[in-house]
Amino acid sequence: MLVILAATASAQTAAARTAPANQPQVTSEKCLSCHDDPEMKNDAGKSLAVSTLHFGRSAHRKLDCADCHDAALEIRHPRNPLGPVKPQVCQDCHEDEFKAIAGSIHGRRADGDRAIKDCNGCHGSLHTVFKGGDPESPLSPVNQIKTCGSCHEDMMTNYETSEHARALLKAGLVGSAPSCSSCHGKHDIHPKTEAGATTSHTKVPETCGRCHSGVLKDFNESAHSAAMTAGRDGPVCSTCHEPHAVKSPDAAATRHQVSDGCGNCHEKYSTSFRGSFHGKATALENKAAAACADCHTPHRNFATSDPRSSVHADNLAKTCGACHANANASFLSFDPHANPSDPTRNAYVYWLWLGMTSLLIGVFGFFGLHGLLWMQRALVGKLRGEFKFGHGGDGPYVRRFSGMQMGVHIAIVTSFLLLAATGLPLKFAQAPWAPGLMGLLGGAESASYLHRLAGIVTFGYFVWHLGMLVHGMFVKNEKGYLCGPRSMTPQPKDLFDFIGMMKYFFYLGPRPKFDRFTYWEKFDYLAVFWGVAIIGLSGLILWFPTAFTMVLPGWALNAAYIVHSDEALLATGFIFLFHFFHTHLRPEAFPMDPVVFTGCMPLERFKDERPLEYERLVAQGRLDDYLVPPPTVAQLRRAYVFGFAAVAIGVTLAFFIFWGLLSGGFH
């Protein structure tokens, strides 16, 4: 068909060029004398103007108008249109280009029709066809984006956000930065599904290698390239780098995207990576965290058993040493792709994981049931009018906490909330809310500094508390730290109180009489005491891994990660759910109990909630020593503002914990 069209066009053009001698010659100069008028239009309103300036610069400037517009020899001007220039006219001079485009995606469609009707669609008006190097050409490297984008909008939208576009449009690297034709070709463009296309799976490395020759050399030596050579499906440039939206490999988002893409082939290792500290930090766009390419190299990948591999045993010191200076042999035995639920990988890590998981389920299950039973009993008691005393009143107050104890509690609350806010996004890095919360904290790297700062504050009050206990027990020789009513150590009475509360919950008896501390308050205290020690030690191991592995085996790092992560979840979940309920959200105390922030509570409420302590103080004649004036309005305002803010943040984070667990995140 194209051959017949070409022959017809050639005959028509030849006839025009051999017109009778008495017929006037249609030269460009004569035509432009009329068509240079910018107001010139045909009856349909279409512009017939041709700029003398532009035509004089075009690639067609040496042609006469009749060479293309053969009808110009026969039709009167200017009121009658000459009609569009047919593609066959262009073919007389551009035969090779026509052959190329005839077989391309632009020259054919599934229905057999031409996808592009004429050359003007890409080259613009034939009167202003500039050479490719001319900046005003529609197909110059810069203008290609707009020209191609008129049909391929999605591709161009992605391209405009890419590093290729940044280099071409912003840096002005014309000639070195790729435009559309650099990768897809000019006239012989084929869909990527065809083997001969420059963007087909097997041809992509060669196409990209025209600019990235060093990368191509590394890739050709890699296991990925060897897989393709052996006839297996292997990744190429476009597998890891989004074809039209190629981003900087140093960008945090790109590092995460590429690492996530590795899971398309390496699902097992991708799953373990996403569960590791490296994977979670990478998902939160922490550029300091190691991604897949940091350990395995971006393009020169080899199997672990290959001596050329960056993760071969002989090369681990250099690879890990890029981030961890002075990496010792024990540190290098750390398992970066650990699966704690697999006993065959490391038995110690497995049993530790099993123990921590059982502890989480046991504590949350026990106190969840305890809280539900208490809630229903308290609501019934509220309706019955069993609770007669509130948080305020003008009567005498009883001092419960000293100024130092209140100050320490504020430090505990502040540092704990900061630890939770900066740690939970890492725990549940795959949850939808994690990136947003991390961004609110200034990003993953800023959050890591805040987390360590809060950890230092936590160590500070923990050491202070230990010092206070040692000073009281051994310097002041005070009694009652290990047993007695002032002790936070569990005692037989606590068991009887628990049994009594169970009877109370099931309407089988009255509420037990409590002394200074209840069994749930002792659990709160010991949970924090235990938690600070365990979370703190495991956190230090993770903070200084090379130092600790000088005396500990490498699997201790895997163990520390499990302990730190699960114990932190236990602490945050318990505090935000059960401690908040025990202290503030139960119907007897709702919406908040300010006693820990004011240091005192009404005497009548004290007699009702702590009858044994009240009776003992009266019997000892010491009650008057504990009576204090009611808190001022300013004190109450500060207490409620700080308390409500802390409770609101805690409840929000508790909601995030449930969301994270439901999203499938745990380790």
How far is it, in rounded angstroms, from Cα 420 to Cα 575? 11
**Whether the Cβ atoms of residue 317 and residue 327 lie closer than 8 Å to each other:** yes
Query: Can you tell me the distance from the alpha carbon of 254 to that of 41, in angstroms, rounded to the nearest whole number?
Result: 52
Out of 3-12, 274-283, 330-339, 582-591, pick the least confident. 3-12
- Is residue 48 in some structural domain? yes
pLDDT tops 80 at residue 209:
yes
Tokens of 232: 């297996």
* Strand 397-399, strand 600-602: pairing: antiparallel
- Residue 389 — very low, low, confident or very high, per pLDDT cuts 50/70/90? low
- Amino acid at position 99, single letter: K
- 578 in a structural domain: yes
305 assigned to some structural domain:
no
Residue with the two structure tokens 């202290």? 583
Among 14-18, 38-42, 62-66, 208-212, top mean pLDDT goes to: 208-212
Half-sphere exposure of residue 489: CA atoms within 13 angstroms, side-chain side: 8
Residues 50, 193, single domain; the answer is no
Q: What is the CATH number of the domain that holds 580?
A: 1.20.950.20
442-451, pLDDT tens digit by residue?
A: 999 999 999 9
Q: Structure tokens of 502?
A: 């169970």
Residue 327 lies in a domain: no
Residue 465, in any domain of the structure: yes
The answer to whether position 258 is within a domain reads no
Position 135 pLDDT exceeds 50: yes
How confident is the model over 301-332, as pLDDT tens digits? 999 999 999 999 999 999 999 999 999 999 99
Q: Are 337 and 276 in contact (CB under 8 A)?
A: yes
Q: Containing domain of residue 12, as a range?
A: 2-129
Question: Which of 247, 277, 299 is the endpoint of a domain?
Answer: 247
Is the pLDDT higher at 187 or at 330? 330
Residue 112 lies in a domain: yes
Confirm whether 290 is domain-assigned: no
Angle subtended at Cα 236 by Cα 231 and Cα 237, rounded to the nearest 5 degrees: 165
In this structure, the answer to whether residues 45 and 142 fall within a common structural domain is no
Cis peptide bond upstream of 78, omega within 30: yes
Q: How confident is the model at residue 77 (pLDDT cuts 50, 70, 90)?
A: low
Write the DSSP assignment of 535-555 as a string of letters.
HHHHHHHHHSHHHHTTTS-TH
Could you tell me if 366 and 456 lie in one domain?
yes
Label residue 53 by pLDDT band (50, 70, 90): low
| 105 and 149 housed in the same domain | no
Q: Are residues 169 and 88 both part of a single domain?
A: no
- Give dist(CA 502, CA 175) in Å, integer: 81
Average pLDDT over the chain, rounded to an integer: 86
- How much is the average pLDDT of 422-448? 95
Strands, sheet with 397-399, edge to edge from the N-terminal-most edge strand: 600-602, 397-399, 627-628
Q: State which of 82, 102, 129 marks the end of a domain.
A: 129
Q: Checking phi first, is residue 235 left (phi over 0); if not, alpha (psi -120 to 50) or beta? A: beta
pLDDT at residue 612 greater than cutoff 60: yes
- Binning pLDDT at 50, 70 and 90, where does residue 83 land? low
387 and 497 both lie in a single domain: yes
Report the pLDDT value the prediction gives residue 78, as an integer from 0 to 100.
46
Q: Which residue has the tokens 């979840």?
A: 569
Q: Looking at residues 80-108, what average pLDDT do you find?
A: 72
Domain match, 365 and 239 both: no
Residue 589 has pLDDT above 80, yes or no: yes
Residues 6+ apart with CB under 8 A from 458: 412, 415, 416, 419, 532, 536
How many residues can be counted in the chain? 667
Residues 124 and 166 reside in one and the same domain? no
437 with 553, same domain: the answer is yes
Do 412 and 375 share a structural domain?
yes
- Taking residues 118-145, report their average pLDDT: 79
Q: Give the pLDDT band of residue 230 (cuts 50, 70, 90).
A: confident
**Category of 233 on φ-ψ map: left (φ > 0), alpha (ψ -120 to 50) or beta:** beta
- Provide the number of structural domains found in the chain: 3
Domain boundary among 78, 97, 129: 129
Q: What is the pLDDT of residues 236-266, one digit of tens each?
A: 999 999 889 898 888 888 888 888 889 989 9
Distance (Å, whole) CA 598 – CA 596: 6
Rounded to whole angstroms, the Cα distance separating 295 from 276 reads: 14
User: Do 116 and 151 lie in a common domain?
Assistant: no
Residues 149 and 49 in one domain: no
Residue 203 has a pLDDT of: 92
